[in-house]
């Protein structure tokens, strides 16, 4: 079933980098015609693709932080960004979430509230229960329109990410083990994973893929999570690579292309 061909980061590379320290064409408009055509994002940011996602993937049950269920198919009609994460990550995930939430807020400020979706789907479904997702969500200021934390069953998680080309693997904790920010107990394992943003157009086709760390400078990253960041996580927070890291403004540029509207960057 997987038809991925463009992932440059092998899982062995992801494991090595994370476990050692802690773990075109213009889009169709959904609200009018842009004054000038919005070109596809540059290759330096990610890869333009065009894949129809089969029903066996779009109809996989996904549970929200509030305990209700949905599917990717339920977001048909909206441009969507999907990011992989886990709430117990001490490296990059808190920064991904900071940017993802800020991106949803910026889209709302640009008049797209209710017309887009920014989704984070866990690669650690055994530990990321709805209760834990709610606690993690609360650290970032609570629920926000168009921003959702989601989980699937372990078997469906495997199907989803295998099809979308996101690589992840359970790995040993370092010694001494990192600490759970919620329970304050040592962690028993970590999940190494690639850091991907996958964008879908309103028809549900996969259209753009980013494989990069986030640049979350200027965004709200909770002190409760920063306290537990690894050395790698702190470097990514305070000194992101200005060439290879993605920003909220760049996320908006992809949504500009998908909507056909040139969305202003956040102040």
Specify the pLDDT at position 151: 98
Query: What's the structural domain count of the chain?
Result: 1
The C-alpha atoms of residue 229 and residue 23 are separated, in whole angstroms, by: 10
The C-alpha atoms of residue 230 and residue 21 are separated, in whole angstroms, by: 6
Specify the pLDDT at position 106: 97
Residue 188 neighbours by CB under 8 Å, 6+ apart = 173, 177
Specify the pLDDT at position 116: 98
Specify the pLDDT at position 36: 65
What is this structure's pTM?
A: 0.87
If we measure between CA atoms, which residue out of 209, 202, 211, 204 comes closest to residue 258? 202
For residue 70, CA distances in Å to 75, 149, 206 come to 9, 11, 19
Q: Give me the average pLDDT of each 10-residue run along the chain (267 residues).
A: 40 34 37 64 96 97 98 98 97 97 97 97 98 98 97 98 97 93 96 97 98 96 96 96 93 97 86
**Domain extent at residue 18:** 11-30+45-259
The C-alpha atoms of residue 91 and residue 226 are separated, in whole angstroms, by: 9
Residue 110 neighbours by CB under 8 Å, 6+ apart = 252, 263, 264
- What does the angle CA 50 – CA 102 – CA 137 come to, to the nearest 5 degrees? 100
The C-alpha atoms of residue 179 and residue 185 are separated, in whole angstroms, by: 5
In a domain, 36, yes or no: no
In a domain, 73, yes or no: yes
Q: How many residues does the chain have?
A: 267
In a domain, 35, yes or no: no
- Domain with residue 20: its CATH number is 3.40.30.10
In a domain, 2, yes or no: no
Specify the pLDDT at position 19: 34
3-state helix/strand/coil string of the chain = CCCCCCCCCCHHHHHHHHHCCCCCCCCCCCCCCCCCCCCCCCCCCCEEEEEECCHHHHCCCEEECCCCEECHHHHCCCCEEEEEECCCCCCCHHHHHHHHHHHHHHHHHHHHCCCCEEEEEECCCCCCCHHHHHHHHHHCCCCECCEEEEECCHHHHHHHHHHHCCCEEEEECCCCCCECCCCCCECCEEEEECCEEEEECCCCEEEEEEECCECCCCCCCCHHHHCCCCHHHHHHHHCCCCCCCECHHHHHHHHHHHHCCCCCCCC
In a domain, 3, yes or no: no
């Amino acid at each position: 079933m997987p038809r991925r061909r463009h992932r440059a980061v092998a899982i062995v590379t992801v494991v090595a980098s994370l476990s050692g320290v802690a773990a075109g064409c213009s889009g169709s408009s959904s609200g009018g015609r842009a004054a000038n055509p919005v070109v596809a994002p540059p290759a330096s940011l990610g890869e333009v693709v065009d894949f129809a996602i089969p029903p066996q993937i779009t109809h996989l049950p996904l549970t929200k932080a509030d305990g209700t269920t949905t599917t990717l198919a339920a977001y048909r009609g909206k441009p969507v960004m999907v990011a992989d994460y886990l709430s117990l990550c001490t490296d990059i995930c808190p920064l991904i979430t900071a940017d993802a939430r800020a991106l949803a807020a910026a889209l709302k400020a640009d008049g797209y509230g209710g017309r887009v979706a920014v989704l984070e789907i866990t690669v650690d479904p055994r530990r990321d229960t709805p209760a834990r997702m709610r606690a993690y969500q609360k650290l970032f200021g609570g629920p926000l329109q168009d921003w959702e934390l989601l989980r699937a069953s372990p078997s469906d998680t495997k199907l989803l990410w295998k099809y979308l080309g996101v690589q992840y693997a359970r790995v040993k904790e370092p010694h001494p083990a990192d600490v759970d920010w919620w329970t304050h107990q040592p962690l028993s394992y970590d999940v190494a994973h690639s850091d991907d943003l996958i964008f879908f157009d309103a028809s549900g086709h996969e259209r753009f893929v980013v494989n990069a760390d986030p640049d979350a400078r200027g965004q709200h990253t909770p002190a409760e999570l920063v306290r537990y960041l690894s050395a790698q996580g702190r470097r990514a927070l305070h000194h992101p690579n200005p060439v290879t890291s993605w920003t909220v403004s760049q996320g908006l540029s992809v949504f500009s292309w998908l909507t056909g509207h040139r969305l202003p960057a956040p102040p």
